């Protein structure tokens, strides 16, 4: 919120400068074109009104107001600009080469764009174009739709669309920044408090169920805080989610160590690796009677592939023996082969089992 307020303040301040500069030039124009003036006093009064208005909106703290007040201010400004455009015949003859208000009306359109968005701003630009054409026609006593007035209308509409777009983008960026900041802040607080507490619970509790719960929560929280926002599709997130799912399903503790430079991975690769890993973990959790299950993943071959190890310290099995879960091994090998990878299983009775996965052929 505060970021958007400061962004709005920035845009409004820019607009104040724009108003002052255009008004300054309008005064210069008035002096240069004074020979074409029919009612100099009225012209001076009109430009003074615009000047006073500039002071009013500057002093009113445009940005500090609520949306409705700001919209009212913008409407008044557009109306004032319309009056200046349409009322031109009252002060000038047709021979003048600069209009009374010059580019000052654009300020109202930009204010409208910042306050109320592209539709209102474009509407205002169209109204001001009509006012301008009406003024010109009145001055020359015939309907004037010249190239000059058309290009002026185009400019006003362009200003409306561009200003609304820029304001929208700036606000969006502001929102993203404040979301990121908020997340960082939440992350810091959770990191300092909740993660520490979860770690203590895991250490001090004698209840395996509670320990598991704390570990799961810690994993999930960490995935959310440190990985998900960066790249929701990234490989590490999917691997962590797969690990957490097995851990929950079988109530086993899985120690996951994932290298911090894992590549994001293609969808096919992520699918194959997370799927193969889940099957290997399921197998270890179901059949191995393991005390520890650990997962390790690192990039290989300059990050073009990933190596992954799923290891348990359970009962293991004799090479070539028909064991429960043999079919799972076939399925793991198939999954890896589909993406051109390799899977191996190493086991000895009493020495646990290790499933190793490579997403690219090993040399």
**For residue 146, what is the DSSP state?**
-
Contact (CB, 8 A) for 64 and 4:
no
Q: What are the residues whose beta carbons fall under 8 Å from the beta carbon of 268, sequence distance 6 or more?
A: 338, 339
**Contact between 248 and other proteins per CB under 8 A:** no
Closer CB to other proteins, residue 145 or residue 226? 226
Contact (CB, 8 A) for 128 and 86:
no
**For residue 37, what is the DSSP state?**
B
Determine the interface stretch with other proteins among 49-57, 130-138, 191-199, 329-337 (rule: CB under 8 A).
191-199
Residue with tokens 């023996």: 321
- Helix or strand or coil: residue 263? coil
CB of 210 to other proteins, least distance (A): 13
Give me the residues paired with residue 296 across strands.
Answer: 257, 309
CB of 222 to other proteins, least distance (A): 6
Residues of this chain, 256-275, that bind other proteins according to CB under 8 A: 257-261
**Binding residue count for other proteins, defined by CB under 8 A:** 29
**Contact between 292 and other proteins per CB under 8 A:** yes
Residue with tokens 């100099």: 40
**Contact between 220 and other proteins per CB under 8 A:** no
Closer CB to other proteins, residue 55 or residue 226? 226
CB of 251 to other proteins, least distance (A): 16
Runs of H (alpha helix) within 87-146: 105-116, 118-140
150 vs 152: CA distance, rounded Å: 5
Site string for other proteins, 320-359 (x = CB under 8 A): ----------------------------------x-----
Residue ranges in contact with other proteins by CB under 8 A: 191-192, 195-197, 199-200, 202-204, 215, 218, 222, 226, 255, 257-261, 292, 294, 296, 298-299, 302, 309, 311, 354
């Amino acid at each position: 919120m505060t970021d958007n307020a400061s962004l709005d303040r920035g845009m409004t301040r820019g607009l104040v400068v724009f108003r002052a500069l255009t008004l300054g030039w309008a005064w210069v124009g008035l002096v240069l074109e004074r020979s074409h003036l029919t009612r100099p006093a009225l012209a001076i009064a009109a430009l003074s009104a615009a000047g006073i208005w500039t002071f009013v909106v500057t002093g009113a703290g445009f940005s500090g107001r609520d949306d409705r007040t700001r919209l009212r201010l913008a409407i008044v400004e557009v109306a004032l600009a319309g009056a200046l455009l349409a009322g031109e015949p009252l002060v000038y003859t047709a021979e003048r080469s600069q209009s009374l208000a010059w580019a000052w009306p654009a300020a109202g359109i930009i204010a409208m764009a910042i306050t109320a968005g592209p539709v209102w701003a474009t509407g205002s630009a169209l109204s001001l174009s009509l006012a301008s054409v009406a003024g010109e026609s009145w001055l020359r006593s015939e309907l004037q739709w010249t190239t000059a007035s058309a290009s002026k209308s185009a400019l006003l509409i362009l200003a409306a669309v561009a200003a609304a777009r820029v304001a929208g983008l700036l606000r969006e960026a502001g929102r993203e920044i404040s979301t990121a900041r908020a997340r960082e802040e939440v992350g810091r607080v959770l990191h300092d408090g909740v993660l520490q507490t979860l770690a203590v619970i895991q250490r001090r509790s004698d209840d395996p169920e509670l320990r598991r719960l704390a570990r799961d929560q810690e994993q999930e929280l960490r995935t959310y805080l440190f990985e998900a926002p960066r790249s929701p599709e990234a490989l590490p997130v999917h691997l962590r989610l797969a690990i957490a799912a097995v851990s929950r399903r079988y109530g086993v503790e899985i120690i996951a160590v994932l290298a911090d430079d894992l590549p994001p991975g293609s969808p096919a690769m992520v699918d194959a690796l997370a799927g193969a890993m889940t099957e290997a973990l399921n197998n270890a959790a179901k059949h191995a009677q393991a005390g520890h299950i650990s997962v390790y993943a690192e990039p290989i071959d300059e990050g073009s592939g990933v190596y992954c190890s799923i290891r348990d310290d359970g009962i293991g099995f004799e090479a070539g023996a028909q064991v429960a879960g043999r079919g799972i091994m076939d399925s793991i090998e198939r999954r890896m082969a589909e993406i051109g990878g390799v899977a191996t299983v190493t086991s000895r009775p009493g020495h646990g089992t290790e499933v190793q996965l490579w997403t690219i052929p090993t040399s």
